[in-house]
Structure 1
Amino acid sequence: MGSIEKENKEMRRSLHLLTSKVERNEAILRSFFEMEIRLLSCSSLDELLDLILIEFRAYFRLTAVNLILLDPESAARTLLDDYTPPEPGHSLRFVNNQRLLKSLFPTPKLRIGELSAPLKSIAFPSTPSVLSSALLPLVRHNCLIGSLHLGSNDPTRYSEHFDYDYIGHLASVISVCIENCINQQNLKRLSIIDMLTKVNNRRAFDQEIIKELSRASRHKTALSCLFIDLDFFKLVNDNFGHQIGDKVLQAVGTLLKKNLRKTDFIARYGGEEFAILLPNCDSEKAMEIGNQLRQKILHMVIHDNECKPFRISASIGVTSCTAESFAFDDLDAQAHTLLKAADEAVYQAKDKGRNRIEYRSLPDMKPELFHSLSTSLNDR
């Protein structure tokens, strides 16, 4: 084989390697672009975390993906009450200050390659098989807000001898997405949460009852409603002051959240009145639940400004509906009917001496009666 032929063969080989490298890089960039679009489309923090902690691992063929988030005021944790991070443990951690993050990033720059044993124990505490990694600092407004760790059992996967600009860009996108999800969800939460008791507010309840009635109608299941009105609450404010009154409301809100299912919906409906929706719950079970709550409220001990204990009681009204309870398909009318019956049951409980529970069945509703019902409720 002549020298020219050898040279041509070597050139073709080099060209083939170069072409393969370009195609591989294009594929990598395309995959990162596709993932960037998915990140930006996430509307909630738990959806975003699932994408990062679960799908990243399969999509990029990684051994481990871990995330540390700075959350000094529990703004993120508050949004993740029902979220379970993927196994193994430590895939998601929250920190209240930057001390741990600063140990990973003395300067907020991407860290690539094999980690020292101390750093690996921080970045991948449950995955010692990681042999190379990319640690991504998450920065917003010049503040280090977190750290994303991509780990591989391939020692050549991440090397300090190569540039990883696309990973650095991905870190910026993730930082923006985390901040946006937290801010948007907290704004939404502020609009539907009663800030004193930390349960839902009346606006949220009015929206939820329509959803639950629709769901109950579709699945042919029962829906029960409880109204809880604290007895002689005005006397608490008059005798102990509004701060103690607020303390009572907070304690009741906490008690209700602790003693009901996650599928139940609790709201502060008025000043000292709470409303509860119990999906897939018939009248008998609703009465049982209501009486348990009444007893727990009665045995709850509150302390006044001088640390003297006192108790408070509640009157509870209960009503239930099934798919057969209504003669017409109007969710607003059904909601008004349900609320009116529960409200009347509360007044019945108070008329009979308070600290008791009463059940009020739904009237037979006719379409022509709805207008007068709605008018009377809205005028209250």
Structure 2
Amino acid sequence: MAKTVEQLTAELNLLIENSKQNELIAKKLFDIETSVLSARSSEQLLQNLLDLIKKQFSLSGIYLLLASPPPISYLLNSNLQSNWHKTHTKQVSSDTLKQYHPENQPFLSNQLASYQHLVPAPLLAQAQSIALTPLTLEGKLFGSLLFCDNDPDRFTPQLGTFHLQQLAVKVSLCLSNVLIREQLDHMAHYDRLTKVANRRLMEICINEELIRQQRYGSHFSLLFIDCNKFKAINDTYGHDCGDKVLAYVASQLSELIRENDRCFRYAGDEFVIMLANQSFSEASLVAQRLCQFFTEHPMPYQNQQLNVTISCGVATSNGSQTMDELLKTADQQLYLSKGHQTQASE
């Protein structure tokens, strides 16, 4: 039977309305993509992303679910373990996440009684429907954006998911670019063996601290550290043991200093620690405490305890020295300290 003019008009109006809605959604997606492209870190990207999506699509809540264990090694780095991530993300087993995203498709539901293990309690209290949008990197499912709405008809299994799929692809691409950039930056500035910052980042940080001192008058100190009898350890136990010693020393130094202090691998078995707002006497006490710790805590190795000890030299900036001059002073103090230790042991 032929359609009436009224029916054709109604269908045309519906097509026009759907076209307008699609155009509006496309513009929102474009605005979101443009905004997050400028993010310089994965945390900044995710923070901006969640805020923008919640605002643009008038959601009652949004959350990030992350697969555990991560399917990609560089998702393990500290950038995904900040306070912001701990507040806005939740670890979900990889198998659980895959159940909701067969073939990496979005999942929608307005029957929330079965999903309390996914939705954080504060969001669940006001949510009537949810959408899970899969996020992939290198073809692997690593997370899901959880959208919550207080309208039970907002996300239902009957709803089309084309725009959610578009959003998932854009987010995954943007995040992939940022994470790769972060990974390259991390490789350029951190020592692969010891996991602490390398000499290149040390030079950047010390020069920044010198500029800060000239501008604000804040002082700082450096510790120049090396491992005692490191060559003998290598000769006796082998280079594999020597590598473990370096990793042990680096990890312990990093744990023993304050959060705003920095530990760097300078070269070989030498490390540098930058102590913010520490005078010479304060830095000397830190050096004594570090040396004492290693004397009292031998390194476990193959069912035995290795006596791994360190020596420290101290230099405090007065605002007029260069970085090289400070390091030279600390290095000289290190060898004076080693000389005193040799005399004391004789």
The residue type paired with residue 165 of structure 2 is G
Aligned counterpart for 2:96 among listed residues 96, 100, 106: 100
Whether 1:337 and 2:325 are equivalent positions in the alignment is: yes
The structure whose residues are more often helix, as a share, is 2
Q: Sort the Cα spacing of 1:261 and 1:53 in 2 relative to 1 into closer, same or farther, 3 A.
A: farther
Unaligned regions of 5+ residues in structure 1, if any? 1-6, 327-333, 357-380
Other-structure match for 1:330: none
Other-structure match for 1:284: 281
RMSD of aligned Cα (Å): 2.8
Q: Number of residues paired by the alignment?
A: 334
Distance in 2 separating the partners of 1:32 and 1:44: 20
Whether 1:181 and 2:184 are equivalent positions in the alignment is: no
Other-structure match for 1:75: 74
1:221 touches 1:322 (CA, 8 Å); kept in 2? no
**Aligned pairs (5 A) from 1:1-380:** 25-70=22-67, 71-72=70-71, 74-80=73-79, 83-85=82-84, 91-94=88-91, 98-118=94-114, 120-126=115-121, 127-128=123-124, 129-305=126-302, 307-323=303-319, 325-326=320-321, 334-353=322-341
Using the aligned pairs only, state the percent identity. 30
| TM-score with structure 2 setting the length | 0.86
2:63 touches 2:89 (CA, 8 Å); kept in 1? yes
Deviation at 1:26, TM superposition (A): 3.8
Q: Sort the Cα spacing of 1:105 and 1:72 in 2 relative to 1 into closer, same or farther, 3 A.
A: closer
Report the 3-state secondary structure (helix = DSSP H, G, I; strand = E; otherwise coil) of the residue aligned with 1:292: helix
Unaligned regions of 5+ residues in structure 2, if any? none
Report the 3-state secondary structure (helix = DSSP H, G, I; strand = E; otherwise coil) of the residue aligned with 1:352: helix
Report the 3-state secondary structure (helix = DSSP H, G, I; strand = E; otherwise coil) of the residue aligned with 1:277: strand
1:45 touches 1:79 (CA, 8 Å); kept in 2? no
Q: Give the number of the structure whose alpha-carbon radius of gyration is greater.
A: 1
| TM-score with structure 1 setting the length | 0.79
Deviation at 1:217, TM superposition (A): 1.8
